[in-house]
Amino acid sequence: LNSRLAPMGTTIFAEMSALAVATGSINLGQGFPDTDGPEEIKRAAAEAVLSGRGNQYPPGPGIPELRTAVAAHQKRFYGLDFDPDTEVLITAGATEAIAAAMLALLEPGDEVVAFEPYYDSYTACIAMAGGVRVPVTLRPPHFRPDLDALRAAVTDRTRLLLLNTPHNPTGMVLTRAESEAIAQLVRERDLLVVTDEVYEHLTFGPEHIPLATLPGMRERTVTIGSAGKTFSFTGWKVGWVTAPPALVSAVRSAKQFLTYVASGPFQYAAATALALPDAYFSTLRTDLERKRDLLADGLTAAGFEVFRPDGTYFITTDISALTPKGGMDFCRELPERCGVVAIPNQVFYDDTEAARSLVRFAFCKKDEVLTEAVERLGRLK
């Protein structure tokens, strides 16, 4: 293994999901729903397979039906106009979009400024592209971005900002004022933005503001979305990029040599899903908000300090009141102690000390599963 990837080890999601299976624990670690998305969307996938749509290589940029549906979604929810032919690219999940964007846009040595904690593929993809990550740390209890620190992190070598809102693992959602301040810095310093908005529909109160909607930002922003989160089909791996033609074309140049194309039949199903009525999106939100409160209240009662998230399906907690141990040791022992799996937030940080006692729980699970998990966690005290 080369020196760029060697420090990355095995992803924590694989380690913790394997531990959940081995110990028969409730898996609140890796973020995936325990209930699939809508029946009609499953049927759309099955029908695509059976009617022979997408069973052979689909077009490199993605099937026209899905590119059109992605553009229509950006218009319907945010008033953004994208040309499906030149400004939309379909990828194998958001993960490939992130990788392709880094490989396409970075020269070796270019700096990427990002808020940490970051989703673990960011560090790996920046490294694989030969870039250098420059973290700006988000801190409890609110995990709001320190805009002065962000400004100070930008240097002459900075090529782009890699953003994520709503933010995994903290659940922080950038406000309009914060987004505007970030946009101003980006324009001033002539940077690009790659913004990971896979949790765009998972917000509980605050509005999701796509960076591309702010003045002067559409032309310098690569926006990443995914069907995995919005439609509860994380196994389908259908993601997308929207950006101006030159940026889409650059990302596509890298993407064509990573996977060439994303899975065909699921693209047809994702196109159907993006056209679901507004009620689908609002029900998803209210269901998840109830689950958030169920788990947050249970964790609080169990002795965790809970940082109630505004978005995503993750809750970050502090375990200091329960144990002097760090989150990594705590999470490795938790399955044996009470049959629950969680993720130590340390793995999302360079500044691991800042996250020593932080632990993340996923709440995209059935109410009865969350109730059982809370009961088990209640025995820790």
31 vs 171, beta carbon nearer ligand GLN? 31
Give the shortest CB-168-to-ligand GLN separation in angstroms.
5
User: How many angstroms separate the CA atoms of 63 and 82, rounded?
Assistant: 16
Examine residue 31 and tell whether it contacts ligand GLN (CB under 6 A): yes
Instruction: Give the distance, in angstroms, between the CA of residue 338 and the centroid of all CA atoms in the same chain.
Output: 28
Q: Among ligand PMP, ligand GLN, none, what does residue 67 contact (CB within 5–8 Å per kind)?
A: none
176 vs 366, beta carbon nearer ligand GLN? 366
Examine residue 168 and tell whether it contacts ligand GLN (CB under 6 A): yes
Contacts of 288 (CB under 8 A, 6+ apart): 202, 204, 313, 363, 364
User: How many angstroms separate the CA atoms of 215 and 276, rounded?
Assistant: 29
Given 3-state DSSP classes, what are the helix, strand and coil percentages for the chain, each rounded to the nearest 5?
45, 15, 40
List b or e across 133-145, with b for residues whose CB sees 16 or more CB atoms inside 10 angstroms: bbbbbbebeebeb
Q: Among ligand GLN, ligand PMP, none, what does residue 13 contact (CB within 5–8 Å per kind)?
A: ligand GLN
End-to-end CA distance of the chain: 43
165 vs 357, beta carbon nearer ligand PMP? 165
Examine residue 165 and tell whether it contacts ligand GLN (CB under 6 A): no
User: How many angstroms separate the CA atoms of 309 and 164, rounded?
Assistant: 14
Torsion 161-61-76-206 (CA) sign: negative
Give the shortest CB-314-to-ligand GLN separation in angstroms.
7
Give the shortest CB-93-to-ligand PMP separation in angstroms.
3
Give the shortest CB-226-to-ligand PMP separation in angstroms.
3
Give the shortest CB-203-to-ligand GLN separation in angstroms.
17
296 vs 362, beta carbon nearer ligand PMP? 362
User: How many angstroms separate the CA atoms of 344 and 329, rounded?
Assistant: 9
Contact residues toward ligand PMP (CB under 6 A) are 31, 93-95, 119, 164, 168, 196, 198, 226, 228, 234, 237, 239
Torsion 337-340-341-346 (CA) sign: negative
Q: Among ligand PMP, ligand GLN, none, what does residue 226 contact (CB within 5–8 Å per kind)?
A: ligand PMP
Examine residue 164 and tell whether it contacts ligand GLN (CB under 6 A): no
Give the shortest CB-17-to-ligand PMP separation in angstroms.
13
From the number of C-beta atoms within 10 Å of its C-beta (0-12, 13-18, 19+), residue 368 rates as exposed
Examine residue 230 and tell whether it contacts ligand GLN (CB under 6 A): no
The residues that touch ligand GLN, with contacts defined as CB under 6 A, are: 11, 13, 30-31, 168
